């Protein structure tokens, strides 16, 4: 079964708006939560990652919020640009053991100019 649930499946946002993607997990042993961005015909590229000892991490226009008690984490894309149009995947792993990434189903983001 899918260990990481991601929503929404797709979203459309206007240029300059905020895109929000949510993920939930069940396995409390997960201790590493990366987000990947994938453009058509390319492999996933690491965007930003967080570990459960912090509740928020920001890199440029991208912010991860992490809620350990709710077992949820989310990606916020501020001031969305047309170049942000891509598919975004959340993932989780036990970085201290096992190491394999369990991915969410992906969210296709379209930014309208």
Binding residues for another protein, rule: CB under 8 A, are 2, 32, 34, 36, 41-46, 49, 89, 91, 93, 95-106
Count CB-CB contacts under 10 A for residue 67: 13
What's the rounded Cα separation, in Å, for the pair 93 and 85?
A: 26
Closest C-alpha among 102, 105, 107, 90 to residue 27: 102
Q: Residue 45 or 78: which CB sits closer to another protein?
A: 45
Q: Residue 73 or 80: which CB sits closer to another protein?
A: 73
Q: Residue 74 or 93: which CB sits closer to another protein?
A: 93
């Amino acid at each position: 079964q899918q260990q990481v649930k991601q929503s929404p499946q797709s979203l459309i946002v206007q240029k300059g708006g905020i895109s929000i993607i949510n993920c939930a997990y069940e396995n409390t042993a997960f201790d590493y939560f990366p987000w990947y961005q994938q453009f058509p015909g390319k492999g996933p590229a690491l965007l930003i990652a967080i570990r459960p000892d912090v509740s928020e991490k920001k890199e440029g226009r991208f912010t991860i919020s992490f809620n350990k008690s709710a077992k949820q984490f989310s990606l916020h894309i501020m001031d969305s640009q047309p170049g942000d149009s891509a598919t975004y995947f959340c993932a989780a792993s036990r970085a201290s053991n096992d190491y394999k990434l369990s991915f969410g189903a992906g969210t296709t983001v379209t930014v309208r100019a």
